[in-house]
C-alpha cells in the first residue's frame, strides 16, 4: 500500500513537470495556438435588482390598455389584448396568476441566483433564479438533461436548460403556461418558447430574451433586462399569494371582457399621448425604424380596421400536437399512484395499488394491446374497474379488450356470482347511464357497454387508497359526461370536457350545450387547489393534450365564456348563424385551437355555440 502511494506520488510529479515543460516548449516555438476549450461558467450567483431605466411605466404601475407598441403581435394576439378587461384579475382563479418566465425577467422585483453543484464531482447541475414578484422559481438545468415530452405539464417558469456560449449563459425554455407579454392584456401563449442570453459585465447583468410564440407573434420578440448586483440580501421579498372573494355574488360564469371593437381604452392611450391610434396596435412594423416615418402620416382610418377581426377565413391552430403518433403508448406519472397514458387518441388514466387498477377511459381502441401491456408494467393485478367519462369513441374504443383483460374480484363469491355466471369475469365498466344509452344507440359492441351505471350526480368508491369520486356533468359535451376525482392523489380526469388541443367538442345532438360545458369547467375549478402562485396542486388530465392544472382549465373556461358572450350578444341583436360566423367570434383563439378540416372545425364549434344558445336546454 505504501509502495503504491509512492509510485502514485512520483507519477503525479512527473505528470506536472511534463505538462509544465510542454507548456514552456510550446511557448518557445511561438505563440500558442488557441485551442478551443469548453467555456467555463460565469458566476451569476448573488442578489440582483432590476435597473428599471427602460419601460418604467410598464414594469411599475403597468402599461395603459391599448399600448402594444413594439410587439410583433398577430391579429389573434392583438384582438386577445383588446378583448381583455383588467377586472378579470378579480376572478378567484386569476388572483394568484404567476408571471411566465419572459415576463418574470422583465418584471420589477428582486432576484436571487444560486448554483446547485454535485457534492462529489463539483459539476454544475443547475442554476436557480428566485424572483420576488410572484415568487417565481426558475431552474435552469446545466447537466444536459433532455426537455420533457410534449404531453408533460406546463408551468409559469417553464422547463429550462442552459449552456455557456462565449461569455454568455444561453438558456432554452419551453413548457410555459399562457401568460403575459405585457400585463395590460397582451398575451403570450402556452406554445411560446424562449431563448435567453445572460451576460455579466462587472456588477451589471443583462438578460436578453427572445420569445417565439407561433400563436400570438409574427416574429420573435427581443427584449433585454438590466440588473445590478446587491452586496447582500436586500431582505425585500414577498409572500405566497392567497385568493379570496373580490366581488360577492358574481355569477360563476362571468369573465370580464370586451366585445371586438368595444374596448374603450384603446383610443384613450393614443389621445393621452397625442400619437396616432396605429401606434399601439400595428404589430411587427412598429418594431422597425421605418415605422417612425410611417407614423407621421398615419390616421385613425389606418387603425380602425385593426380593432376588429379582418373579414375572411379563420386561421388554423399553430400549436404543436402534444399527442404522440409513433404507435406507442407512453406513460407519464401524474401524482401519487395515478398515471396518464398517451398515444391512443384520447388520454387514459390508470390508478394502481394493492387492488386491481382502476382505468379512466380506454382510448380509441387502436393500441389497446399496448395499453394493456403498459398497465401490466404499472401493476401485476388485472384491471378491476374502467370508468368512461363519456360514450365518445376516444373514451370507449378500447372497452371490449380492456374489459376482457381484467377481472373484478369484488364480485366473486358474492351474491351476484350465484346469480350471474359471468360475475367478476372481466373488469367492471362504470359510467353515467346516458353514456350506456348512447353506446347502445350508436350500436357499439355490447361487450364494451358499462356494467355498472349511475343516474345521480355523484358516484363514489374508495379504491387503491384514493377516494374516487365520479361526478356527472349533465349537458356538457354530451348529456352523459363525468369527471373523475382521485382525492388523495389530487387528480381530476376531465374527459373531453377539457382539452388542450381544440375547441370543446360540444355534441348538441347528444345533449351537450355551451352553458353545460361552462358549468362543467367551473365544477372542475371548484375542486382544484393550486399549490403555489396559481399553479401545481390538483392536476387535471384533459381528454386530449398535455397534463394540466387549474390554470389551463381557467383559460379554457374564460375562452368559452367570452365566445358565448359574443355569440349571445349577436343573437340578441338578431344575427343569423352566417352573420355570427362572418364576425369571426373566435378570432383571438383561432391560432390556438382553430381547424378547417377534420372531425371538429372552427365552423362546427361556432354552429354548436349558436345552436346551443338559440335552443337552450330545458
As measured in angstroms, the least distance from the Cβ of 73 to another protein is 12
Distance CA 608, CA 506 (A): 6
As measured in angstroms, the least distance from the Cβ of 63 to another protein is 10
As measured in angstroms, the least distance from the Cβ of 4 to another protein is 8
- Binding characters for another protein, 119-158, by CB under 8 A (x = yes): ----------------------------------------
| Spatial CB neighbours of 386, under 8 Å, sequence gap ≥ 6 | 358, 359, 360, 361, 362, 399, 402, 403, 406, 427, 428, 429, 430
Per-residue burial over 178-215, b if 16 or more Cβ lie within 10 Å, else e, is bbbbbbbbbbbbbbbbbebbbbbeeeebebbbebebbb
The residues in 283-302 that bind another protein, with binding defined as CB under 8 A, are 286-292, 295
- Binding characters for another protein, 462-501, by CB under 8 A (x = yes): ----------------------------------------
- Name the residue nearer to another protein (CB basis): 275 or 577: 275
- Name the residue nearer to another protein (CB basis): 114 or 273: 273
Q: Identify the residue among 26, 262, 310, 440 touching another protein (CB under 8 A).
A: 26
Q: How many angstroms separate the Cα of 58 from the Cα of each of 65, 210, 242?
A: 11, 18, 24
| Spatial CB neighbours of 8, under 8 Å, sequence gap ≥ 6 | none
Cβ neighbours of 251 (radius 10 Å) = 7
- Name the residue nearer to another protein (CB basis): 167 or 441: 167
Stretch that binds another protein, among 55-63, 319-327, 488-496, 575-583 (CB under 8 A): 55-63
As measured in angstroms, the least distance from the Cβ of 80 to another protein is 19
Binding flag, residue 165, another protein (CB under 8 A)? yes
Q: Where are the beta strands (DSSP E) in 496-592?
A: 539-542, 548-549
Distance CA 428, CA 403 (A): 7
As measured in angstroms, the least distance from the Cβ of 38 to another protein is 8
As measured in angstroms, the least distance from the Cβ of 50 to another protein is 10
Binding flag, residue 321, another protein (CB under 8 A)? no
With vertex at residue 533, the alpha carbon angle to CA 98 and CA 244, rounded to the nearest 5 degrees, is 110
**Among 343, 431, 329, CA closest to 378:** 329
As measured in angstroms, the least distance from the Cβ of 84 to another protein is 19
**Among 219, 218, 194, CA closest to 208:** 194
Binding flag, residue 618, another protein (CB under 8 A)? no
Q: Identify the residue among 89, 125, 152, 195 touching another protein (CB under 8 A).
A: 195
In 3-state terms, what secondary structure has residue 270?
Answer: helix
> What is the size of the binding site for another protein (CB under 8 A)?
77
As measured in angstroms, the least distance from the Cβ of 2 to another protein is 5
As measured in angstroms, the least distance from the Cβ of 30 to another protein is 7
458's enclosing H/E stretch is strand 458-463
Stretch that binds another protein, among 9-17, 129-137, 360-368, 469-477 (CB under 8 A): 9-17
Binding flag, residue 35, another protein (CB under 8 A)? yes
Q: Identify the residue among 47, 71, 111, 151 touching another protein (CB under 8 A).
A: 71
Binding flag, residue 42, another protein (CB under 8 A)? yes
- Binding characters for another protein, 200-229, by CB under 8 A (x = yes): xx--x-x-x-x-x-------xxxxxxx-x-
**Among 179, 177, 213, 180, CA closest to 194:** 213
Cβ atoms of 223 and 106 within 8 Å: the answer is yes
Q: Identify the residue among 152, 241, 275, 316 touching another protein (CB under 8 A).
A: 275
- Name the residue nearer to another protein (CB basis): 5 or 419: 5
Q: Identify the residue among 46, 55, 487, 488 touching another protein (CB under 8 A).
A: 55
- Name the residue nearer to another protein (CB basis): 6 or 421: 6
Instruction: Report DSSP state, residue 490.
Output: T
**DSSP code per residue over 143-173:** S-PPPPPTTSPPBSS-EEEEEEETTEEEEEE
Binding flag, residue 115, another protein (CB under 8 A)? no
- Name the residue nearer to another protein (CB basis): 163 or 527: 163
- Name the residue nearer to another protein (CB basis): 193 or 612: 193
As measured in angstroms, the least distance from the Cβ of 522 to another protein is 38
As measured in angstroms, the least distance from the Cβ of 24 to another protein is 6
91's enclosing H/E stretch is none
Query: Rounded to the nearest 10 degrees, how much is the dihedral formed by the CA atoms of 243, 248, 254, 257?
Result: -80
The residues in 244-273 that bind another protein, with binding defined as CB under 8 A, are 273
Distance CA 135, CA 96 (A): 11
Cβ atoms of 454 and 486 within 8 Å: the answer is no
Binding flag, residue 183, another protein (CB under 8 A)? no
For the chain, the first-to-last Cα distance in angstroms comes to 90
Distance CA 108, CA 50 (A): 6
- Name the residue nearer to another protein (CB basis): 72 or 489: 72
Distance CA 137, CA 104 (A): 10
Stretch that binds another protein, among 85-93, 166-174, 318-326, 610-618 (CB under 8 A): 166-174
| Spatial CB neighbours of 518, under 8 Å, sequence gap ≥ 6 | 253, 557, 560, 561, 564
Binding flag, residue 70, another protein (CB under 8 A)? yes
Binding flag, residue 57, another protein (CB under 8 A)? yes
Amino acid at each position: 500500500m505504501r509502495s503504491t502511494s509512492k509510485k502514485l506520488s512520483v507519477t503525479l510529479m512527473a505528470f506536472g513537470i511534463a505538462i509544465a515543460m510542454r507548456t514552456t516548449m510550446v511557448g518557445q516555438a511561438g505563440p500558442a495556438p488557441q485551442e478551443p476549450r469548453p467555456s467555463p461558467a460565469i458566476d451569476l450567483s448573488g442578489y440582483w435588482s432590476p435597473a428599471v431605466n427602460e419601460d418604467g411605466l410598464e414594469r411599475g404601475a403597468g402599461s395603459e390598455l391599448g399600448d402594444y407598441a413594439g410587439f410583433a403581435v398577430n391579429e389573434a394576439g392583438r384582438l386577445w389584448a383588446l378583448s381583455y378587461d383588467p377586472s378579470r384579475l378579480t376572478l378567484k382563479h386569476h388572483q394568484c396568476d404567476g408571471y411566465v418566465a419572459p415576463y418574470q425577467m422583465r418584471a420589477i422585483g428582486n432576484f436571487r441566483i444560486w448554483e446547485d453543484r454535485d457534492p462529489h464531482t463539483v459539476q454544475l447541475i443547475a442554476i436557480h433564479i428566485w424572483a420576488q414578484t410572484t415568487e417565481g422559481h426558475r431552474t435552469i438545468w446545466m447537466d444536459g438533461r433532455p426537455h420533457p415530452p410534449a404531453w408533460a405539464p406546463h408551468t409559469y417558469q417553464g422547463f429550462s436548460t442552459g449552456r455557456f456560449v462565449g461569455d454568455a449563459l444561453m438558456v432554452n425554455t419551453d413548457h410555459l403556461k399562457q401568460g403575459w407579454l405585457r400585463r395590460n392584456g397582451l398575451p403570450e401563449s402556452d406554445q411560446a418558447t424562449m431563448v435567453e442570453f445572460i451576460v455579466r459585465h462587472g456588477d451589471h447583468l443583462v438578460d436578453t430574451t427572445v420569445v417565439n410564440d407561433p400563436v400570438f407573434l409574427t416574429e420573435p420578440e427581443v427584449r433585454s433586462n438590466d440588473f445590478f448586483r446587491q452586496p447582500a440580501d436586500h431582505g425585500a421579498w414577498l409572500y405566497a399569494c392567497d385568493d379570496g372573494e373580490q366581488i360577492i355574488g358574481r355569477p360563476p360564469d362571468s369573465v370580464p371582457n370586451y366585445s371586438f371593437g368595444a374596448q374603450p381604452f384603446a383610443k384613450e392611450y393614443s389621445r393621452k399621448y397625442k400619437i396616432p391610434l396605429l401606434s399601439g396596435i400595428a404589430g411587427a412594423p412598429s418594431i422597425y425604424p421605418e415605422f417612425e416615418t410611417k407614423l407621421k402620416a398615419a390616421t385613425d382610418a389606418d387603425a380602425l380596421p385593426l380593432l376588429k377581426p379582418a373579414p375572411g377565413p379563420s386561421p388554423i391552430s399553430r400549436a404543436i400536437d402534444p399527442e404522440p403518433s409513433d404507435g406507442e403508448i407512453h406513460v407519464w406519472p401524474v401524482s401519487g399512484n395515478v398515471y396518464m397514458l398517451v398515444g391512443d387518441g384520447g388520454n387514459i388514466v390508470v390508478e394502481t395499488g394493492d387492488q386491481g387498477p382502476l382505468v379512466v377511459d380506454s382510448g380509441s381502441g387502436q393500441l389497446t394491446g399496448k395499453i394493456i401491456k403498459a398497465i401490466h408494467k404499472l401493476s401485476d393485478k388485472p384491471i378491476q374497474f374502467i370508468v368512461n367519462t363519456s360514450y365518445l369513441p376516444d373514451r370507449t374504443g378500447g372497452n371490449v379488450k380492456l374489459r376482457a383483460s381484467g377481472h373484478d374480484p369484488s364480485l366473486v363469491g358474492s351474491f351476484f356470482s350465484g346469480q350471474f355466471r359471468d360475475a367478476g369475469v372481466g373488469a367492471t365498466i362504470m359510467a353515467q347511464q346516458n353514456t350506456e344509452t348512447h353506446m347502445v344507440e350508436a350500436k357499439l359492441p355490447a361487450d364494451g357497454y358499462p356494467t355498472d351505471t349511475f343516474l345521480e350526480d355523484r358516484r363514489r368508491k374508495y379504491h387503491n387508497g384514493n377516494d374516487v369520486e365520479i361526478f356527472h356533468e349533465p349537458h356538457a359535451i354530451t348529456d352523459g359526461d363525468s369527471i373523475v376525482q382521485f382525492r388523495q392523489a389530487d387528480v381530476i380526469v376531465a374527459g373531453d370536457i377539457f382539452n388542450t388541443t381544440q375547441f370543446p367538442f360540444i355534441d348538441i345532438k347528444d345533449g351537450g350545450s355551451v352553458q353545460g360545458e361552462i358549468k362543467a369547467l367551473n365544477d372542475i375549478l371548484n375542486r382544484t387547489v393550486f399549490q403555489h402562485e396559481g399553479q401545481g396542486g390538483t392536476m387535471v388530465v384533459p381528454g386530449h393534450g398535455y397534463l394540466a392544472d387549474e390554470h389551463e382549465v381557467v383559460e379554457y373556461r374564460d375562452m368559452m365564456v367570452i365566445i358565448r358572450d359574443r355569440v349571445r350578444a349577436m343573437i340578441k341583436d338578431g344575427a343569423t348563424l352566417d352573420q355570427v360566423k362572418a364576425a369571426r367570434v373566435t378570432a383571438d383563439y383561432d391560432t390556438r385551437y382553430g381547424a378547417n378540416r377534420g372531425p371538429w372545425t372552427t365552423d362546427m364549434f361556432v354552429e354548436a355555440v349558436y345552436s346551443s344558445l338559440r335552443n337552450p336546454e330545458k
